[in-house]
Chains A and B, each alone.
Chain A
Amino acid sequence: MREYILKTNNLTKRYKKQKAVDNVSLNVEKGSIYGFIGRNGAGKTTFLKMISGLAEKTSGDIELFGHKGNEVKNVYDRIGVLIEAPGLYPNMTAFDNLKLKAICMGIYKKNYIREIIECVGLGMVGNKKVKNFSLGMKQRLGIGMALIGEPDLLVLDEPINGLDPQGIVDVRETIMKLNRERNITIIISSHILEELSKLVTHYGIIDQGSLVEELTKEELYEKCSERIEVALDEPEKACTILDSLKIHNYKVVNSKTIHIFERLEEVADINMEFSLNKIKISSIGVNKDNLEKYFMDLTGGVENA
């Protein structure tokens, strides 16, 4: 049975007349890396703030670690948060920033801070003040801050924004290591879809405050994988023909479209077989989507991206 670490039910946030988050119901499985995709102003950050206890919800329910209602407040300390820019005192060292949060959480273990610093790859910074850190170092320290208190859920909002390629790789590796070695469930939002696709196991796509789609990596892979796309009038009849051709890996997408995921090189033969059986084909061809195109199609095209 699947164990969910976070469930939201019709979660809504309204600012005056505008709904920033509109009836979002999503589920985050334990141990997963959940990619939260949406364009600017889609409501990602507001949603993440609500589940982290930084913002009040207008309506709806949040279930965190099995706790509901007012009990949720008692488990917020099991969430590590990096929302928007990392919250760091610029005139302090990485050690002091981490120490402050450790004191706040009542953690006084010896070498605890050093371990966190090593874990996020900042072992070499010494007594350098945070104001002298690069953006990537600040982001990694922000992740380090979120790791204080051994969280079960890590909420990372755009952690790779503005980073150089090396910074992106470093942050990605840190996130994957945390998920793999510490079994931390991670919710991560990002605009860099291709980068996100290297990390996440589940996707939630949000647009104009509403959750448009929630799917696993495999489901998305299937949707974006190379396939023969057939536009036709009689999909039921076409299915019989595909079965007779011993093609089983196909999907009826809607009443006028079938996607075939095997024997892609035999597109001409399949087309001929349909014609012989008097099935009217509007179009047939091999297509492949990437995550970006899929996201664009789902959220209303290029003008919205």
Chain B
Amino acid sequence: MLNIIKMDLYRLLKSKSAYVILMIIAAFMLLSVFMIENSIKVLKLENGQSNITGETSDAGDNSQNTNLGISYDGTALMKDHITLLDEFATMISSAILLLFTGIFTVLFVCGENNSGFIKNIVSCTKKRWYIILSKTVVMSVFVFIELIITLLMTGIGSSIFLDNFSLDISWKLFQYMGLQCLLHLAFAVIIIMVSVLTRNSAISMIISICLCSGLGSLIISYLSKLSINGNNVGAHLPDYLVTSNVQTLTSNPTSEISIRVILVFIIAMLVYNLISSLVMEKRDI
């Protein structure tokens, strides 16, 4: 099993798409910091005007709504001192990193099927589910690198573009990063399953984009509002979705939310990896 993990790590190392995606993430994060800074200035200006005219802002009241599409919520940055954690959390909650994670997962998993390379390794492995486990390990490495790059570029970008920024590296920052790492890995595991099931890059990519843009959460939210015999059985279902957790996880999560995130991660790892492994074991190559 270690050999196949080593093989996939070597492939990751040699994968041009991995470097391209990481470079795009780096550039995107720098650009995003700059754009958010401009948005904040505009928001502050608008808020100032609305205070004068007596209008109220509803920016902070939309936490219960389901986000559709990839967008930044800059309201957390509307304060005098912005920390690295605030900026980092704003970046991650936009789900842009989730989108890149999904794209790379599809490229990595489907690449093996599309090229036919899987034929070379299936007979070398004692158990086929090692192949799935190996992909999960590689994706955990990739997600970790992604988050580190995001953190670095957010820090660098904020230092350059923000006047009221303080590079405050705290335990909370690492706690938030750890929880988001788990959620991104859980999402990667979902996309591994989709790629294994469909064996089609285009379909997997579309599903990945739909999930990142919140379409899945929207559907689940709608379904959860339907009641059966007067009982709203699925009312809390959206709270346990990977994508909605990525978007709603705050920079200062309570222990209850942290446990929920860990629970979501464990269940995703077990259920989706189990499905992928079963399909891989039974399927003819």
Contacts and interface: CB of A to CB of B under 8 A. Distances in A.
A, B: real partners: yes
B52 interface: no
A145 B124 CA distance: 12
B123 A88 contact: no
Given A54-B285, A96-B14, A104 B7 contact: yes
B120 A101 contact: yes
Contacts of A146: 120
Interface in B79-129: 111, 115-126
A73 interface: yes
Contacts of A76: 123-124
Contacts of A81: 119-120, 123
A109 to B, nearest CB: 14
A103 B3 contact: yes
B222 interface: no
A88 B124 contact: no
A113 interface: no
A209 to B, nearest CB: 16
B10 interface: yes
B100 to A, nearest CB: 19
Chain B interface category by residue count:
20 to 34
Interface in A44-94: 49, 52-56, 73-74, 76-77, 79, 81, 83-92
Given A53-B122, A79-B123, A101-B120, A92 B284 contact: no
Interface residues of A, number: 34
A169 interface: no
A92 B11 CA distance: 9
A85 B284 CA distance: 16
A77 B111 contact: no
B124 A149 contact: yes
A52 B124 contact: no
B6 interface: yes
A99 interface: yes
B241 interface: no
Interface of B: 3-4, 6-7, 10-11, 14, 16, 111, 115-126, 282, 284-285
Interface of A: 49, 52-56, 73-74, 76-77, 79, 81, 83-92, 96-97, 99-101, 103-106, 145-146, 149
8 contacts: A53-B122, A77-B123, A88-B115, A100-B117, A104-B4, A104-B121, A104-B125, A105-B124
